């Protein structure tokens, strides 16, 4: 079932590409392929370098640890009704 759907989609895409490319001469096809290769290669290199450059860039901000507010916790315990009865 799924294989049949994938095969139909594959055939449809292939037919559409053949209709688009068939009017082009072999030289024009080569130019289109080389242009696409250069553009996609440039984007791939840019994304790889950008990811490596930004890797760990903001780690220092994410790992900041706040101190525990012990004084505030002690004040809340003193206000508790159970502590009033013990005192």
Helix (H, G, I), strand (E, B) or coil at 65: coil
pLDDT for 76: 59
Q: Is the dihedral of CA 63, 68, 69, 73 positive or negative?
A: positive
Quote the pLDDT of residue 66: 66
Quick check: is 59 in a domain?
Answer: no
pLDDT value of position 84:
55
**Residue-wise pLDDT tens digits, 32-51:** 999 999 999 999 999 999 99
Exposure letters 36-57 (e unless 16+ CB within 10 A, then b): eeeeeeeeeeeeeeeeeeeeee
Averaged pLDDT for residues 18-45: 93
The pLDDT, as a whole number, for residue 65 is 65
**Residue 44 resides in a domain:** yes
Say whether pLDDT at 73 is over 60.
no
Interatomic CA distance for residues 83 and 27, integer angstroms:
90
Residue 40 belongs to domain spanning? 24-54
Instruction: Give the per-residue pLDDT at 57.
Output: 75
Domain assignment present for residue 15? The answer is: no
**Number of domains comprising the chain:** 1
Distance, CA of 28 to CA of 36 (rounded, Å):
12
Decide: pTM greater than 0.75: no
Residue 29 lies in a domain: yes
């Amino acid at each position: 079932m799924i294989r049949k759907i994938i095969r139909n989609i594959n055939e449809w895409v292939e037919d559409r590409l053949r209709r688009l490319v068939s009017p082009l001469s072999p030289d024009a096809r080569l130019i289109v392929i080389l242009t696409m290769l250069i553009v996609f290669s440039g984007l791939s290199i840019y994304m790889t370098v950008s990811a490596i450059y930004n890797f760990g860039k903001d780690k220092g901000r994410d790992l900041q640890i706040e101190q525990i507010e012990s004084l505030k916790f002690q004040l809340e315990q003193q206000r508790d009704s159970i502590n009033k009865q013990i005192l």
